[in-house]
């Protein structure tokens, strides 16, 4: 019992009259996965059961359709090649597998047996047309956040995502065996069917995203990683959809958004990384912190020492921003790099001489321009008062013991 390819000798309108039975399936909508073929009785055969296919009847297979011939609950033949066929009970199965590959032969051996029980009349013969086009418009959205190991920041963030996936019947024999036994008319993707598929898809999405994360794709790059996500989801669904003859063709994520908590963590990490990569911004941030500490200490005598000790620790190169240099050096390094790059800010030249108003810190040697040292917090030493000669009235060095003008003792 099999199919024999027939030559096209007339239009479809006359074929129905020329052949005992003429079975044809119109193009199926996207939500129709399978349709039972209803014989169009022509010629002298105007009566009879629709589940009996007369020997020599004509069957027409359209593009994107897969024909399955079933006799008494057993798959006896199939074809994926569009064209006109003659049903002949005296021939062996032709099994035109077309572009589906020889894997269908194995499925035929596996499922080519009766799987229905009871109530099957003798010589029950049916044909089914399986829709092999892409089934589009399958939207999804995560109801709960999915943990995703982000490669950019090296941490796990919780994301919500939504998008659309495309599916296809890739093994019509396995699909018919799983879903299509004794379908009376159309097998339609209704709400219940969509819910089942969606639940399976979302269950596979989380481990699929984990596979994508290993490929060093950050969360905000997921909308562009279509091929990687599609491949990972298909792999994760192989044990469920794959064995049922269905597979994911494409997964498109329209948006991947972190939760509010993860967004705050990412924002903080981005700020720290920005300062760590920019020496000028490191120094500016450290100097601002030191200035604020001095202001606080100046208004609180009891906390003055604590404030200046904090400034000293800051300038001794702690790991506050991941750099072991002083805030002044950080700032100067940044200014120098901006100057070298041709920016509009010019770093000032270091001073070789100390003006009379400036005093060296006796502790660290830094220049003190205020009441306290900006480097270590040491109080500025008192400046000795000027001396005048009692004999001639000439101004002398404060540390001199005799007048350089008249020699009188000071």
Number of helices and strands (H, E) in the chain?
A: 9, 18
Overall CATH class of domain 135-262: alpha beta
pLDDT given for residue 109 in this prediction: 59
pLDDT given for residue 118 in this prediction: 40
pLDDT given for residue 44 in this prediction: 46
Q: Which two tokens stand for residue 287?
A: 């100097």
Location of each CATH 3.30.479.30 domain in the chain: 135-262
Q: What count of other Cβ atoms lies within 10 Å of the Cβ of residue 150?
A: 21
Rounded Cα distance, 68 and 174, in Å: 11
pLDDT given for residue 348 in this prediction: 47
The answer to whether 22 and 58 have CB atoms below 8 angstroms apart is yes
CA distances for 108 relative to 45, 56, 84, 325, angstroms = 32, 23, 22, 74
From first to last of its 410 residues, the chain has per-residue pLDDT tens of 567 776 544 444 444 444 567 888 988 988 899 999 888 765 444 455 567 777 788 899 998 999 988 887 788 888 888 888 888 776 666 666 566 655 565 665 555 544 443 434 446 788 999 999 999 989 999 989 999 998 888 889 999 999 999 999 999 988 988 887 667 788 888 766 788 899 999 999 999 999 999 999 999 899 999 999 999 999 999 999 988 999 999 999 999 999 999 999 888 877 666 666 666 655 655 666 666 666 666 565 555 555 555 545 545 544 444 444 444 555 455 555 545 444 444 444 444 444 455 678 888 888 877 777 888 878 887 766 667 777 777 877 777 777 877 777 87
Chain-centre distance for alpha carbon 281: 32
DSSP state string for 17-56: HHSSEEEE-PPPPTTEEEEEPPPEE-TT---S-TT-PPTT
CA-based torsion, 39, 44, 48, 54: positive or negative: negative
Q: What's this model's pTM, rounded to 2 decimal places?
A: 0.58
Nearest to 80 by CA among 130, 30, 24, 26: 130
pLDDT given for residue 390 in this prediction: 79
Q: What count of other Cβ atoms lies within 10 Å of the Cβ of residue 273?
A: 13
pLDDT given for residue 114 in this prediction: 40
């Amino acid at each position: 019992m099999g199919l024999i390819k027939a030559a096209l000798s007339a239009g479809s309108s006359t074929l129905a009259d020329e052949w005992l039975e003429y079975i044809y399936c119109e193009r199926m909508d996207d939500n129709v996965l399978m349709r039972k073929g209803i014989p169009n009785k022509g010629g002298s055969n105007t009566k009879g059961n629709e589940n009996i296919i007369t020997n020599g009847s004509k069957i027409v297979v359209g593009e994107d359709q897969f024909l399955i011939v079933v006799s008494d609950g057993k798959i006896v033949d199939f074809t994926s090649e569009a064209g006109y066929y003659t049903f002949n009970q005296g021939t062996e199965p032709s099994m035109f597998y077309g572009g589906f590959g020889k894997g269908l032969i194995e499925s035929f051996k596996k499922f080519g047996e009766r799987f229905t029980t009871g109530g099957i009349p003798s010589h029950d013969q049916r044909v089914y047309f399986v829709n092999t086009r892409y089934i589009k418009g399958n939207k999804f959205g995560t109801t709960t956040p999915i943990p995703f190991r982000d490669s950019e920041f090296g941490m796990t963030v919780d994301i919500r995502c939504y998008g659309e996936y495309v599916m296809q019947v890739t093994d019509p024999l396995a699909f018919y065996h799983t879903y299509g036994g004794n379908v009376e008319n159309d097998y339609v993707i209704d709400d219940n069917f969509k819910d089942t598929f969606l639940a399976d898809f979302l269950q596979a999405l989380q481990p699929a995203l984990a596979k994508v994360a290993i490929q060093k794709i950050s969360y905000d790059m997921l909308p562009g990683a279509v091929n990687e996500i599609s491949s990972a989801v298909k792999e994760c669904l192989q044990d469920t959809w794959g064995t049922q003859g269905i597979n994911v063709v494409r997964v498109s994520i329209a948006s991947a958004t972190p939760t509010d908590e993860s967004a705050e963590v990412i924002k903080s990490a981005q700020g720290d990384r920005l300062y760590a990569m920019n020496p000028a911004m490191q120094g500016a941030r450290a100097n601002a912190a030191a200035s604020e500490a001095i202001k606080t200490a100046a208004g609180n005598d009891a906390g003055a020492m604590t404030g200046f000790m904090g400034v000293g620790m800051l300038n001794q190169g702690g790991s506050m921003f991941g750099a072991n240099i002083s805030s002044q050096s950080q700032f100067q390094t940044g200014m120098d790099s901006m100057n070298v790059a041709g920016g509009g800010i010019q770093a000032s030249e270091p001073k070789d001489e100390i003006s009379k108003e400036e005093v060296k810190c006796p502790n660290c040697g830094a220049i003190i321009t205020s009441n306290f040292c900006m480097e270590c917090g040491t109080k500025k030493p008192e400046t000795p008062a000027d001396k005048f000669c009692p004999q001639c009235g000439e101004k002398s060095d404060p540390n001199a013991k005799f007048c350089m003008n008249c020699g009188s003792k000071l």
